[in-house]
Structure 1
Amino acid sequence: MTDISAVISLLLFVVSSSFYLFYWVEHQAANFRSVVFKCLPIISLCLLVYSHQSHVDLQFQRGILWSLILSTCADGIFIKPAMWTAVLGTVLFAIAQIVSMMAFGFDPWRWDMLCVSLTAWSAFVFYAIMKARAKTSHLDIGTYIYLFILFGMCWRVAAFCAHIANVSYVCDVLGTTGLIGALSFVLSDLIIVIHIIVVEIPDRTHWVMATYYLAQLGLALTVYRSDFSCLRGEVKETLVQSDNTFITSP
């Protein structure tokens, strides 16, 4: 990926997200313009990931890209407030989280981080049920299932971050951006759930979208790990075998 394309994509993200957060949120309506302004920051991140020329770990890059695309579709659907848009948007976000989990992989497993994620999810569900303003509905149950998937994504990103922490300083920074992104995603969706189920939160949209944009940026930046040899063991082994084959070939 060229430096100029990265700069353009990141500049578009900063400008479009700032415009949406500081101006358009107050004027948002269920129309096409709102869809464009809301989705443009994530579209810019799609361009950032798509234009990244990585020939080392294409599966990871494609996973992050598809997660961003699914999230963009969900963002556009959520513009129209209705029961079917809430359900469909949540399903799309759930699929996006599963795609992200598959991209980050399940090696190493990290039981300790899995226990932390399950404990955090259980504690929040218990809190939400105890503090709920109304009796738990089927929609609430679906929300808790989505949060279970979201906390699972956070677990895999945390394991990824720990896996590359000792590779190099730059790799550690990229892992940290991914972890910040995952935690910001959790915070963004928890704000939504608390606002809907427990208590109304002032300026909820600003907080939700600010943490959401930060989350997507942090996760998107992890595609650069292949530029700094933040590679999985099997990829390294494949590269070594290829080099040996080249050296021993007549």
Structure 2
Amino acid sequence: MCLLKALNINADVSVDHSVRRDGFKFKTGELVLRHTHTDLTYSFTHQSLTHSVIQPFSHSFTHPSGQSVSHSVTHSLTQSVSHSVTHSLTHSLTHSLTDSHSLKPPLYNYVDLLAPPQVKSEGPKLVPFFKATCVYFVLWLPTSSPSWFSALIKCLPIFCLWVFLLAHGFSFLRANSNARKILAGLIFSSLGDAFLIWQEQGYFSHGLLMFAITHILYSAAFGMRPLNPAAGLLTGSVSAVSYALLYPYLSGPFTYLVAVYIALIGFMGWRAIAGVRLTDDLWTWTRLSACLGAVLFMASDLTIAVNKFCFPVPHSRAIIMATYYAAQMLIALSAVECQDAANAAAAAQVVREKKRM
């Protein structure tokens, strides 16, 4: 709906559940989209007997000149309303514009700006990250003899995630504060990784501080909407139980440092999980990516804490690094959602320029 407002398009939706024919209960729905400045009108209606897999949808497009184009397309009722509206707008309106030669070409470009980025388009940008991760696990440098080379190998996958975000363009980062916050979080993560290479030499608390700043930046990037108190209660409970299990093994400054760190990473997990609301379809694949990344990050850090303060965890290093790299990759992927906002802003700018003309 935000994209429609950006394009100065008003949407009217009506649903009727009371229509009956031959004893069957029908549900009739209608959506009408009107462009504010051109009186452009686009509408579709549908009827359904039951929750069948496939139902017919009729589409019509009317231009102020009086010309109209209509056709029927079969859609799946399992699609969400928001997806159906976006698909109908980008599919049917595009075909209608192609058939109606009296329209001006720039309006066709407005529709193109609504197309969301696909997951597969991000794959090539992540190839360096996967290669660097493989290098780390293949070399598997011993932690007993820390060096700048081992620090470089450990941080190299995170450096590649910097490149992944920078590959989307500096204009993208300048226009999207959330992407910048995630990039800054990755930078502090690299510093934390470097400090933890020398944790036995007394730099564990330094690494803890760097990752605490990382979680603050990630939380700011994920935002406070939607609030989702249930997710907050869940992550709060997990954080409280984790600290209760660690508390008997903590001493000195780590008693409160670990408490603060668990609170910060728990808050970050809450804000990431809160964005995924499966019941009302108000989520995207990038929000799911942020959620999974936060959960893996919490699992990685909990393994570090148990292994350091409580008892040795079998294969702890492999578990910690595998979950950590996966978490950072998924959180970096969540920044791609900002491109949708960038597309909407670009669409609004084009509409404003068109209005001035």
**CA separation in 1, counterparts of 2:209 and 2:304?**
15
Identity %: 22
Deviation at 1:173?
2.3
The answer to whether 1:188 aligns with 2:313 is no
2:338 is matched with which residue? 226
1:10 is matched with which residue? 126
**CA separation in 2, counterparts of 1:201 and 1:123?**
18
Matched letter for residue 248 of structure 1: K
Query: How big is the alpha-carbon RMSD for the aligned residues of Structure 1 and Structure 2?
Result: 3.0
Distance 1:21 1:198, change over 3 A: same
- Assess if the C-alpha contact under 8 Å between 2:179 and 2:338 holds in 1: no
1:173 is matched with which residue? 285
Deviation at 1:29?
2.6
Matched letter for residue 291 of structure 2: L
1:31 is matched with which residue? 147
Distance 1:214 1:204, change over 3 A: same
Matched letter for residue 139 of structure 1: F
Residue 162 of structure 1 aligns to a residue in which SS? coil
Deviation at 1:124?
1.3
Between 107-116 and 87-96, the greater mean CA deviation after superposition? 107-116
Higher relative contact order (CA 8 A, sep 6+): 1
The answer to which structure has the higher strand fraction is: 2
Greater Rg over alpha carbons, structure:
2
The answer to which structure has the higher helix fraction is: 1
**CA separation in 2, counterparts of 1:177 and 1:166?**
15
Distance 1:214 1:60, change over 3 A: same
Please, which runs of 5 or more residues in structure 1 have no aligned partner?
A: none
Match of 1:214 among 323, 326, 332: 326
Residue 108 of structure 1 aligns to a residue in which SS? coil
Residue 224 of structure 2 aligns to a residue in which SS? coil
TM-score by length of 2: 0.60
2:212 is matched with which residue? 94
2:156 is matched with which residue? 40
Please, which runs of 5 or more residues in structure 2 have no aligned partner?
A: 1-116
- Assess if the C-alpha contact under 8 Å between 2:178 and 2:338 holds in 1: no
Match of 1:142 among 236, 250, 257: 257
> Which residues of 2 match residues 226-245 of structure 1 at below 5 A?
226-227=338-339, 229=340, 231=341, 242=349, 245=352
The answer to whether 1:20 aligns with 2:136 is yes
For residues 75-129 of structure 1, the C-alpha deviation after alignment (integer angstroms, 9 at most, x for no partner) is: 1111113464111111110001101111111122221211111111111112223
Matched letter for residue 195 of structure 1: N
- Assess if the C-alpha contact under 8 Å between 1:29 and 1:79 holds in 2: no
**CA separation in 2, counterparts of 1:43 and 1:91?**
19
**CA separation in 2, counterparts of 1:94 and 1:135?**
18
Distance 1:119 1:27, change over 3 A: closer
2:241 is matched with which residue? 123
Matched letter for residue 209 of structure 1: M
- Assess if the C-alpha contact under 8 Å between 1:42 and 1:68 holds in 2: yes
